Structure 1
Amino acid sequence: MSSIFNLDNPFFTGLNKIVDAFFLSIIFLITCIPIVTIGPALTALYYATAKSLRRDRGYVSKEYFKAFKMNFKQGLVTGLIVMLMTVILIVDWNYAKRLHGNLGVVLFTIFTALMVLLLFVSIYIFPILSRFKTKLGQLFKTAFFMSIRHLPSTILMVIIIAFFALLVYLIWIPILFTPALCALLISFLMERILKKYMPPKADEEEKGGVDEWYLE
């Protein structure tokens, strides 16, 4: 009987994960309200999901705001660049769609391909930002390189995002859970990739007790 009320049993552990996912999603949505803060919000969402929600390190709110503050400046600029590029490509794509003849087909194909590539880069860029310290230009280059090199995983992540986006489009209520759940599923693919670019423990300087949770 005592095992039923044990907070470490699978039922309570799962329930706690659901509550954390709900809480993390709400925090993410609130910090996204200004729109321009979507960059640091996405960075913090992935960081808190990978560290706290998945690996039980710290509290989701504490880890979220820690990453949000730490990556605010670069995340803000990165998010604005991605949004600007998205708007430009959508305008160009709609323009090409209305053109007739071979030129219209060529331009439509080019802008469609560019939109797909931007989506690929966007999936990687914020998780990379949450893990590595790098300059803005290198950040985009690294995201592009990883997305192409690990194309099968990239396509799977696109499918995951598309599924949750469609779910929210059809029934808006799941938006209270989907940001964290989507990030959690993506982390299972993303962490395997990011780990390949982390220095092995044996080659690193003494960390002085720092929790290297991302190498597990």
Structure 2
Amino acid sequence: MGGFLGFGNYEKEGKGVGKNEREKKRFFQFFDLFFRKLGRLVQLNLLYILFCIPVVTIGPATAAMTKILREYTLERPVFLYSDFWDAFKENFKQGFAVSVFQGIVIALIYSAVIYYVSMTVKSVWFLLLLGFIGLIGLILLFASYYVYVMMVSVQLNVFQLIRNSILLAFAGARTNILTFLFSTGLLAVSVVFFPISIPLLLLLTFSTSTFISVFNSWQYIYKHLIQPYYEQTGLPNPYEPKDDEADDTPFEDSI
């Protein structure tokens, strides 16, 4: 069935959107959710680290964490451990494939940066190439904010996930910059101040940085993929707010 620019089937199971406080700005809504879910975010962070220990499970573990954080964003009830485990199993193959793709891309970009930096003494043209590689890396980083959210929300193959995530990286460019500043900033602080930051890494870094990206990216996935599909097919939208909650939807970008 058709999806974003004709790609994808969006009939993955989901429930109705939970009620959000009326007229609340997204910035304050995020922090309201963050502090209400703080204890759960700590548990989720520890659970994520545990599931990432084999390394090859990083992708599936990221998909599982993303599923939980999407539910928090929509204010749905979550059984943390059982829902995490179910999402881990359901998205294992795609999560692994996407993580391998991301690992290869990171290795290629890193190698290219090292090479072009060493060649800048010979020609300034390599500075332009270095800038181009940096731009490509930034776009792919922005795309990573969407790929796992789509994975746990809609039925797409790996190619479609990557393709649509790149398109959404442009659609949500302004919000992506804010996501980058806050989520990457948190990761950077955790790395720069290591080992002092070990408690932060263990308790909040991964769940919080991912929560920021999920909270900001969902509005674009809903607007450009999910909502158009159900409007075109006439099928009931499992993510649509109830009639009396229509004004409470968190999907409108007010950032």
- Larger helix percent: 1
Would the TM-score normalized by the shorter structure come out above 0.5? yes
Contact 1:195 1:215 in 2 (8 A): no
Question: For the residues of structure 2 that align with 1:56 and 1:156, how far apart are their CA atoms?
Answer: 25
* Cα shift at 1:14: 8.2
Residue matched to 1:172: 198
* Cα shift at 1:47: 0.7
- Tell whether 2:209 aligns with 1:182: yes
Moved more, 180-189 or 115-124: 180-189
1:15-57 Cα deviation digits (max 9, x unpaired): 8722211111111111112222221111111111121476141
User: How does 1:49-198 map onto structure 2 within 5 Å?
Assistant: 49-52=69-72, 55-99=75-119, 100=121, 101-169=123-191, 170=193, 171-175=197-201, 176-196=203-223, 197-198=225-226
- Tell whether 2:49 aligns with 1:23: no
Contact 1:44 1:67 in 2 (8 A): yes
Residue matched to 2:227: 199
Question: For the residues of structure 1 that align with 2:57 and 2:150, how far apart are their CA atoms?
Answer: 17
Question: For the residues of structure 2 that align with 1:215 and 1:66, how far apart are their CA atoms?
Answer: 23
State the TM-score, normalizing by the size of structure 2: 0.71
Partner SS, residue 46 of structure 2? helix
Extract structure 1 runs of 4+ deviating beyond 4 A. Answer: 13-16, 200-204
Partner SS, residue 53 of structure 2? coil
Please, which runs of 5 or more residues in structure 2 have no aligned partner? 1-32, 242-255
Label 1:158 to 1:15 Cα distance change in 2 as closer, same or farther (>3 A): closer
Moved more, 109-118 or 76-85: 109-118
The percent identity for this pair of structures is 19
1:149-204 Cα deviation digits (max 9, x unpaired): 11001111111222211231222211111222222233331221122121376755
Label 1:52 to 1:62 Cα distance change in 2 as closer, same or farther (>3 A): farther
Question: For the residues of structure 2 that align with 1:34 and 1:21, how far apart are their CA atoms?
Answer: 22
* Cα shift at 1:108: 1.2
* Cα shift at 1:144: 0.4
Question: For the residues of structure 1 that align with 2:73 and 2:150, how far apart are their CA atoms?
Answer: 18
Give the number of the structure with larger relative contact order, counting CA–CA contacts within 8 Å between residues 6 or more apart. 2
* Cα shift at 1:65: 1.3
CA RMSD of aligned residues (A): 2.3
State the TM-score, normalizing by the size of structure 1: 0.82
Query: Which residue identity does 2:206 align to in structure 1?
Result: P
Aligned length: 199
Please, which runs of 5 or more residues in structure 1 have no aligned partner? 1-12
* Cα shift at 1:86: 0.5
Question: For the residues of structure 2 that align with 1:88 and 1:14, how far apart are their CA atoms?
Answer: 35
Residue matched to 2:27: none
